[in-house]
Structure 1
Amino acid sequence: MTPPGTLRPRGLPLWEQIRTLVHDEIRSGRYQPGDRLPTEKEYADRFSVSVAPVRAALADLTSAGLIERRSGKGTFVTGRTVSYEVSLLRSTTDTLRTAGVEFTVDMVTAGFVKPDGEVARHLGLTGRERAFHLRRTVEIGGRIAVILETWLPRDVGDKLPGAEFFEDGGSLYRALAGHDIHLRTAEGTLQVVRADDEQSRLLGVDFGAPLLALRSSAADQHGRVVEVARATYDSNRFSMRLQIPATAATVDRPPAAASDQKGTS
């Protein structure tokens, strides 16, 4: 009888056997969320195989979201996710604070730039008009988990406080409200994207790893679009909750009575 935790000489491909064994060790609690797993070489030595099937097994577990590779640090069991309620009219920092999540914010860039075409179109900018660009990272549990980018019209950007305000966890929306700019309507999209080089470096994930990207634009009480935002989340660390209130257009209504007449169009 083959001892538990060892490979069988015949049967499933080596990489699949290794994947099953590592998965079983995670599921059994031998490795907890956030624990560092052995290296590919250590697994290869343990199972007396080459690195290739180990790499294939770990790649499968990474794709399934059970483990995560951190550049230069190793492979870890995916940590517990942050339950995050998506709201286009609420700042990320306020949402995390309400959820009881401890975080820190780092200001990456802040200044006037020529925005790309999509941002310029939403803000109604023309020609060489510049927008104020605010870029921050949000660290949770000692690792960057969110990249926040915001573009605002120049006259709105001029009103913002300095970097210290944001690095203390200050809310952009609260800062705007202090100047009587209140966001009233917003629209956006949430989609899965693949990490580019910079996102991979900041978030500590593999190039091409799946990320959650929330893109939105928001208008103030006068109907003017004053914010275009792009928030990129480490998809292994967040579970998104959506709350959509019922409106006149969405409330269930009884089906219309069928016509008694036949042959009409």
Structure 2
Amino acid sequence: MKDVGGVSGAVRPKYKILQDELSDRIRSGVYRPGQALPPQRKLAASLDVTLMTLRQALRGLSDQGLVVQQPGRGTFVTPPLAAYQVASLRSLADELRAQGRTVTTQVVSVQVRVLPAKVVENLAAGSGARGLRLERIRAVDGRLAVHQVSWVPEPFASVIRHVDFEVTPLYQALAELCGAAIASAAESFRPEKVTPRAGEILRLPAGSPVFASERVTKGVDSAVLVYDQATIDGSRLSIRAERLAHSISLSWNVSG
């Protein structure tokens, strides 16, 4: 562990450098969500720091929400559900619920099967790999709005296949049953006309405008957890972007 000077040339406190090092280990998956860190004396010795320095670093990590210190038990990486609750990564359904909308889910089918070629590519799985195919319909304020197919690779697929997804969100099931914390997601949208099957499911006339969404969600170890494909009623939902000098945020709005 090396001291790094700041812009002014001042040497950063050793506990800050250690805090950053441990933070990197957590975010890269060396220490996984819910995992106990080594005992403090052992960890301090392995890092060649004093107990006081280590404890200062752990307090900083605790303030950041990365670890939880449990008296008499030790220090644990924050459990998976905390990562699932990060607002910037919440699902469309979570986004709409946060706006006070009523979102209900109907499960069409749940099955473990051989993954199609496109899904294999997006899940970074091997040829012939199997995974969970979860098909759902979302209604917003009582009106059908979203048809969604989610794919989850093994070993997670077999663990969550019997979950009641009309009650339990997919990300929550992955967090609670598999210890799989959500770290990042990449999503794309294309305006299209509804396909015959999606139109039948969502009860939309032929040629209705929809958004076709694809989302790849990854865990803290950069492994792909979920590949989502969704058809979203463009007459009911719209995307609103808020651009700031330092960031951009996207949200869904309900019309009609």
Same fold, judged at TM 0.5 (above): yes
Work out which of the two has the higher radius of gyration on C-alpha atoms and give 1 or 2.
1
How far, CA to CA, are the matches of 1:124 and 1:88 in structure 2?
A: 24
Aligned sequence identity (%): 25
TM-superposed deviation, 1:102: 0.9
- CA separation of 1:246 and 1:110: change in aligned 2, threshold 3 A: farther
Correspondence 1:1-265 to 2 at 5 A: 89-160=89-160, 162=162, 164=164, 166-168=165-167, 170-178=168-176, 179-242=178-241
RMSD of equivalent CA atoms? 2.3
Q: Deviations over 1:210-230 (max 9, x none)?
A: 201221101100010111011
Which structure exhibits the higher relative contact order, with contacts defined as CA atoms closer than 8 Å and separated by 6 or more residues?
Answer: 1
How far, CA to CA, are the matches of 2:242 and 2:161 in structure 1?
A: 31
How far, CA to CA, are the matches of 1:158 and 1:142 in structure 2?
A: 32
How far, CA to CA, are the matches of 2:216 and 2:208 in structure 1?
A: 26
Q: Contact 2:112 / 2:161 at 8 angstroms: preserved in 1?
A: no
Q: Contact 2:184 / 2:218 at 8 angstroms: preserved in 1?
A: yes
How far, CA to CA, are the matches of 1:173 and 1:215 in structure 2?
A: 16
How far, CA to CA, are the matches of 1:139 and 1:149 in structure 2?
A: 15
Q: Contact 1:143 / 1:203 at 8 angstroms: preserved in 2?
A: no
How far, CA to CA, are the matches of 1:156 and 1:246 in structure 2?
A: 39
Q: Deviations over 1:171-219 (max 9, x none)?
A: 2112212132111122121111221111111111122322012211011
TM-superposed deviation, 1:241: 2.2
TM-score (norm 1): 0.55
Q: Contact 1:148 / 1:229 at 8 angstroms: preserved in 2?
A: yes
**Partner SS, residue 89 of structure 2:** coil
Structure 2: which 5+ runs fail to align? 1-86, 249-256
TM-superposed deviation, 1:106: 0.5
Q: Contact 1:93 / 1:171 at 8 angstroms: preserved in 2?
A: no
Q: Deviations over 1:122-142 (max 9, x none)?
A: 212222111211110011243
Q: Contact 1:113 / 1:132 at 8 angstroms: preserved in 2?
A: yes
How far, CA to CA, are the matches of 1:237 and 1:133 in structure 2?
A: 26
Q: Contact 2:114 / 2:131 at 8 angstroms: preserved in 1?
A: yes
Q: How many residues are matched?
A: 161
TM-score (norm 2): 0.57
- CA separation of 1:141 and 1:188: change in aligned 2, threshold 3 A: closer
